[in-house]
Homo-oligomer: A and B are copies of this chain.
Amino acid sequence: MIRFQTAQEAEDAFYDALEERDQTKMMAVWDDSPDIALLLPMQALVTGGKVRDLLRDLLRSDMELELQIKHIQWVEIGELAIHYVEEQPEGPPGSAVPPLYAVNIYRRRGESGWTMILHQNAPAPPPPGAMPPGMSIPPRVG
């Protein structure tokens, strides 16, 4: 099993695996515990083995998986590292594809290095003025 010496190495491998659509590299990034979770926009949250199933589907899909990553903030607490990042999908020259925002959590497994335990991302904000401030939870129905 490939392990990573830093959370950043695990993160680089995660985004490389997405871009290269490399199933083996992707699977090696994740922790071998039922604690792992994946939450993608417009998907139900999945945990444990279902994370790997959803990742396989994602790598096989025709989605744009080449993302420019910009770090917003890193937090390291005990054996966990939380990375807040902006994911910018590549688009054709001159296009303005909005970014996604992601939270990635990594766990230090002693000598064997770092693994990913959570990836969650969220859709980009709408254009200015399209939604009122705080608009995030479905409005009252009826």
A-side residues, CB < 8 A to B, are 35, 37, 39-45, 47, 54, 57-58, 60-65, 67, 72-73, 75, 77-80, 82, 84, 86-87, 89, 91-92, 95, 97-98, 100-101, 103, 105, 107, 117-118, 120-126, 131-142
Contacts and interface: CB of A to CB of B under 8 A. Distances in A.
6 contacts: A39-B101, A42-B122, A42-B125, A42-B136, A58-B137, A97-B138
Given A84-B47, A95-B142, A126-B42, A134 B61 contact: yes
Contacts of A141: 64, 91-92, 95, 97
Given A78-B79, A135-B63, A141-B95, A86 B45 contact: yes
B65 A137 contact: yes
A63 to B, nearest CB: 5
The 4 A-B residue pairs whose C-beta atoms are closest, nearest first, are: A78-B78, A40-B136, A61-B134, A45-B101
Report copies per complex.
2
A103 to B, nearest CB: 6
Nearest to A125: B44
A80 B97 CA distance: 35
